[in-house]
């Protein structure tokens, strides 16, 4: 069975983004279904897979990274409203037997993502 992981790096400070809230949704014609939510650990990773086992099925998903709350919590001094608040990353899972890793590189003014390994 496949599984989904993530890793969030704070490129402003050159460190993992610990304490960042993440929500995972499955998308369908019926709308968004919240699958799980998690908070990154001190290494910027989640302590367990975001999705796996029999729930890891083909489909369209979205990770919502609550970057604004993260930068507010570390007293970055964001403007109000923040340029980036919730960063949505929409992606497809085509193979239910593969590892999908969706890392995020984040700053208060930019982000980047890719399919990692």
pLDDT in tens, 1-24: 899 999 999 999 999 999 999 999
Q: Are 71 and 78 in contact (CB under 8 A)?
A: yes
Asked if pLDDT for residue 81 goes beyond 90, the answer is: yes
Q: What pLDDT does residue 1 have?
A: 86
- The model carries a pTM of 0.96
Q: Tell me what the mean pLDDT of segment 39-66 comes to.
A: 97
Asked if pLDDT for residue 97 goes beyond 90, the answer is: yes
User: Among all chains, which residue has been given the structure tokens 């593969």?
Assistant: 98
Domain ranges of the chain: 3-110
Asked if pLDDT for residue 76 goes beyond 90, the answer is: no
CATH code matching the domain that covers 3-110, chosen among 3.40.50.2020, 2.60.40.180, 1.10.150.80, 1.10.230.10: 2.60.40.180
User: Which has the closest alpha carbon to 23: 41, 9, 8, 38?
Assistant: 38
């Amino acid at each position: 069975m496949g599984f989904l992981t993530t890793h969030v790096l704070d490129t402003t400070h050159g460190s993992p983004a610990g304490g960042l809230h993440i929500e995972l949704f499955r998308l369908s014609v019926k709308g968004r279904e919240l699958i799980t939510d998690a908070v990154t650990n001190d290494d910027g990773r989640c302590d367990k897979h975001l999705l796996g086992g029999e729930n890891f099925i083909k489909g369209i998903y979205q990770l919502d990274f609550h970057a604004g709350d993260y930068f507010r919590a570390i007293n970055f001094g964001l403007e109000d409203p923040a340029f980036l608040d919730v960063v949505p990353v929409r992606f497809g899972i085509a193979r239910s037997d593969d590892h999908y890793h969706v890392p995020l590189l984040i700053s208060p003014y930019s982000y980047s993502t890719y399919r990692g390994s």
